[in-house]
Structure 1
Amino acid sequence: MIRTEKLLMLALLVSVTSSMLYKRYKPRWPTLSSSSAASSSSSPSQMLQMRKQLDAAYKSKSRFGTRSKLARDTCRAHPLTLELEPPLKLADQCATVSVLSYGCRGGCSSYSQVDPRNATNIIHSCSCCQPLRFMISIALLQCRNGHNLRVPFKEVLACSCRPCYAEEATKDYIRFDDLLSKPAVDTPLPIG
């Protein structure tokens, strides 16, 4: 299912990019005359010459290249409020508490382009907004018996655009919205 979604996104990207490039470079691109358009009589040398002209026109104004030339990264640590709930065993004895924390949010540069060394391959560069450093903080939940329940939670200190891979992302992936809605931990630390 994920592979199908990736293929659909790639097809959409190629179709949109192709039409954008065509509109941008249309005045300078050589066109085939109606007599030679896609006919089998076109010689390979004519097609090769046209391909070289297209490549030269494209390379002169290419938007692809280093990551810094693409969209600016907006990945930052943003404040969020976490609702920490007690574990199910103590749900009726301890209160939920709201704590201020931080999570990563923003955009990172990603692109796909045809490999210049092998035109049948596509080169992908994807980066995701992920925590760079974090610390473990402790929240105190008030319980009926007068004790406090110590609940650990992660707090993001810094965020950065880092390479993202589908295999790794599915293992330990938490969406920003999930951080807002789910309890941070199911097992408490000793009451004290």
Structure 2
Amino acid sequence: MATLTTTQSSLLMLALILLSLTTSSLVLADCRKLGLQYKLARPGCRPVTLDSVGCRGTCSGYTRISPNNYLEVERSCTCCQEMGFLERTQRLQCPTLNPPFRDVTYRIPRRCSCRPCRSVASVSRVQTLEDLRLG
């Protein structure tokens, strides 16, 4: 039986690690629009339930040893995010105001896709879709 040198053993181990990373990245992305409902309310107006959409899903990411320098680690991640927006307007009935209505403009994602993750450091509070969903 042939014995492996330390170098051969290290290369074999690295190949197995890279193979497992490649295999695990075969998970398909599942990023899509998800129907949501919001309660839209303004002072002096009757609240309405607004049908809308958000992006939700699973995207790929990985961490691996750099093929160029075995002491470095490479990272990549993608997140389910919007790809452009559409603007919609909802008219609220406001019987105590003059005029007795208010138009509220809001945005919805045009489509959703796995894209490089971006920082949310500038956002004061991160909301999940569960935070926004009614009922």
TM category, shorter? 0.7 to 0.9
Give aligned pairs, total: 127
> Which residue, 74, 77, 101 being the options, matches 2:30?
74
Relative to structure 1, the CA distance from residue 66 to residue 131 in structure 2 (aligned partners, 3 Å threshold; closer, same or farther) is farther
| Distance in 1 separating the partners of 2:15 and 2:26 | 16
- Output the CA distance in 2 between the equivalents of 1:117 and 1:134: 40
Residue in 2 aligned with 1:144?
Answer: 95
Residue matched to 2:19: 62
Q: Which has the higher contact order (CA 8 A, sep 6+)?
A: 2
Rg larger in 1 or in 2? 1
Change (3 A) 1:66 1:171: farther
Structure 1 unaligned residues grouped into runs of 5+: 1-29, 31-45, 182-192
* 8 Å Cα contact 1:141/1:148 also seen in 2: yes
Work out the CA distance in 2 between the residues paired with 1:162 and 1:175: 18
Structure 1 or 2: more helix by fraction: 1
One of 75, 82, 96 as aligned partner of 1:131: 82
User: Following TM superposition, by how much is the alpha carbon of 1:51 offset from its aligned partner in structure 2, in angstroms?
Assistant: 4.1
- The CA distance in 2 between the partners of 1:65 and 1:169, in whole Å, is 29
Equivalent residue for 1:175? 128
Mapping 1:1-16, distance limit 5 Å: none
TM-score, L = length of structure 1? 0.57
- Higher relative strand content: 2
Partner secondary structure for residue 120 of structure 2: helix
Whole-angstrom distance in 1 between the partners of 2:107 and 2:130: 15
Identity of aligned residues (%): 28
Instruction: Indicate conservation of the 8 Å contact 1:78/1:105, yes or no.
Output: yes
